Amino acid sequence: MSLTWVALAVAVSVVWSVVFAWTVIQRGVRGWVVVVDIALTTALCLLQPWLVAPELRSGGASWVDGLTSMTIVIAHFAWRPRLAVPAGLVVALAHVVGAWQAGGALGTLGIHLLQIAATAALMTVLRRAAGVADDVLADLRATERAAAVMHARRADEREHKRRLHDTVLATLTTIGTDGATASTTALRTRAAADLAVVEGSIDVGEPDTDVDLRHQLRVVADRADIVVTADLVPCKVPVHVATAFAAAAAQALANTARHTRVTAARLSLTTDCTSVLVTVTDTGPGFDPRTIPHHRYGVREGIIGRMRTVDGTATVDSTPTGTTITLRWPAGSPDAP
């Protein structure tokens, strides 16, 4: 061991640590930074006879041992296993050579190999989990964008309806009450303006966007007035179909909370190559769907009618031991993607 070599090595390590930290903070973990770090650590490992005291050359207690372990871990943060594992093996081999030259024990090789394998496995799991999270986030953002488009379209439709009421209907009322004749210039001008309103009210269809239905249903479950156990699988449908499913399911859960004494229900989403199926199940006392008054909107329009608007179906199966509402949208329908 040489104090001159140790002082020089420590100084280089401190300077490099500052450069490394600044680069990572400012620009992230760059490939060239990791390459330089591996090269520096490899050199220090080979110089162990001059850098490590004899009493610290066994048991992995020297500062070079700690630096080796840290470099192995950093390589896996920056690179995938196909690059990080060979890089870690290079550092581990350099450490073995330096320890052998210094007359130290080689027991740390097993520790370093275990670090390489464990870190590679851990980072693989984390990257896969991050990929799944990114996919879910992308679906949520797509859903939010589609919902924003739908909200804007609905607001525009409501405004057109208000303008129809204030213009076209008012003009027709004037004509019907003999308040104006066809030869009136003001009437022709007014009719032209009303025609522009009508033409601007033509529905050009729903946004052609697919979203993951489970996210819509998860929001419905979270907002219900009862505890909802949700069993949802990934399933992409057009945004207006997802909106119909979510609204019908919300109505079904609201009916359960309002008309039964149960405090929990189950919401499930399944799909196959022919249809998308959503069920809402409770253990309430049940009811006879045939006895629902005609003026009651919930089941007749809020559930069944809403599914019909997207060429879907809704059925109600109720017994004294519980009720199951089944919402189905056939993937082969005209609205299907």
Dihedral-angle region of residue 273 (phi above 0 means left; psi in -120 to 50 means alpha; beta otherwise):
alpha
Structure tokens at 123: 């980072």
- Tell me what pLDDT residue 174 has: 61
- Do 219 and 285 fall into the same domain? yes
- Tell me what pLDDT residue 36 has: 92
Q: What pTM was computed for the model?
A: 0.46
- Tell me what pLDDT residue 204 has: 39
Residue type, 180: A
How many domains does the chain contain in total? Answer: 3
- Asked if residue 316 belongs to a domain, the reply is yes
Beta-carbon contacts of 272 under 8 Å, excluding residues fewer than 6 positions away, are none
**Helix, coil or strand: residue 326:** strand
In this structure, are residues 167 and 192 in contact, taking their beta carbons and an 8 Å threshold? no
- Do 271 and 216 fall into the same domain? yes
Report the C-alpha gap between 273 and 293 in whole angstroms: 37
Report the C-alpha gap between 3 and 25 in whole angstroms: 33
- Do 19 and 127 fall into the same domain? yes
- Where helices occur in 47-107 by DSSP H, the ranges are 48-51, 63-78, 81-101
* pLDDT tens by residue, 3-50: 788 888 888 888 988 998 898 888 888 888 899 999 999 998 888 888
- Tell me what pLDDT residue 179 has: 55
- Asked if residue 254 belongs to a domain, the reply is yes
- Asked if residue 335 belongs to a domain, the reply is no
- Tell me what pLDDT residue 191 has: 66
Report the C-alpha gap between 251 and 220 in whole angstroms: 10
Q: Give the Cβ contact number of residue 85 at 10 Å.
A: 18
- Do 125 and 35 fall into the same domain? yes
Question: Which residues are paired to 230 by β-bridges?
Answer: 267
- Tell me what pLDDT residue 202 has: 43
Beta-carbon contacts of 73 under 8 Å, excluding residues fewer than 6 positions away, are 115, 119
Those residues of the chain that have pLDDT short of 50 are 201-206, 332-337
Print burial letters for 270-302: b (CB count within 10 Å at least 16), e (below 16): ebeeebbbbbbbbebebbeeeeeeeeeeebeeb
- Tell me what pLDDT residue 337 has: 42
- Do 17 and 127 fall into the same domain? yes
- Tell me what pLDDT residue 324 has: 93
- Do 83 and 154 fall into the same domain? no
- Tell me what pLDDT residue 160 has: 62
- Asked if residue 86 belongs to a domain, the reply is yes
What domain range includes position 175?
Answer: 148-200
| Domain C-terminal end among 105, 132, 159 | 132
In this structure, are residues 19 and 71 in contact, taking their beta carbons and an 8 Å threshold? no
- Do 152 and 192 fall into the same domain? yes
Report the C-alpha gap between 60 and 319 in whole angstroms: 71
Report the C-alpha gap between 38 and 77 in whole angstroms: 13
- Asked if residue 96 belongs to a domain, the reply is yes
- Tell me what pLDDT residue 193 has: 62
- Asked if residue 103 belongs to a domain, the reply is yes
- Do 38 and 121 fall into the same domain? yes
Report the C-alpha gap between 101 and 133 in whole angstroms: 48
- Tell me what pLDDT residue 336 has: 41
| Domain C-terminal end among 78, 104, 132 | 132
